Amino acid sequence: MEERVNPSMPMKILLVEPAQEQLQTLEQEFSEWDWVSAPAGWPVTGESHLIQNDINVVMVFARPKEEKYALGLCKKIKEFPQGEQIPLLIVINRYQMMLGADVRKLPRSLSE
């Protein structure tokens, strides 16, 4: 059975590279969720402690013409031990569908 997310259920979501207007939209539409922005340069800095047990989802925002960079961020997040257990979402536009497919192909764990 597939588990559905209730929009009113509080969640803690780590945002990687969001644009300011994207962050504002998310905060307005889902004000009960806890939106945490990762510091600039993360996860390349190697600070895996940002993915803690209380984080429910990691969202990576792909900027136009920076698809390889966004895919690299997703791969780096998957390398963290905690990255295996937390869902990873990539926010793309309609012209970046190949990036979405590439992220979907990433192994769920390092052992795969």
Q: For position 99, which CATH number holds?
A: 3.40.50.2300
Contact by Cβ (8 Å): 26, 36:
no
Q: Identify the CA nearest to 81 among candidates 40, 52, 45.
A: 52
Confirm whether pTM is higher than 0.85. Answer: no
Q: Report if residue 110 sits inside a domain.
A: no
60 domain residue, yes or no: yes
**How many C-beta atoms surround the C-beta of residue 11 within 10 A?**
16
pLDDT band at 46 (very low <50, low <70, confident <90, very high): confident
What's residue 60's pLDDT? 96
- Say if residue 111's pLDDT is above 90: no
Q: What are phi and psi of 105, to 5 degrees?
A: -80, -15
Q: Which residue has the higher pLDDT, 47 or 78?
A: 78
Please state which of the ranges 7-11, 36-40, 101-105 shows the lowest mean pLDDT.
Answer: 7-11
Asked whether the predicted pLDDT for residue 48 surpasses 80, the reply is no
The reported pLDDT for the residue numbered 1 is 42
Total number of domains constituting the chain: 1
Joined tokens for residue 45: 């800095």
Cβ(12)–Cβ(33) under 8 Å?
yes
Would residue 59 count as lying in a domain?
A: yes
**Confidence (pLDDT) at 75:** 92
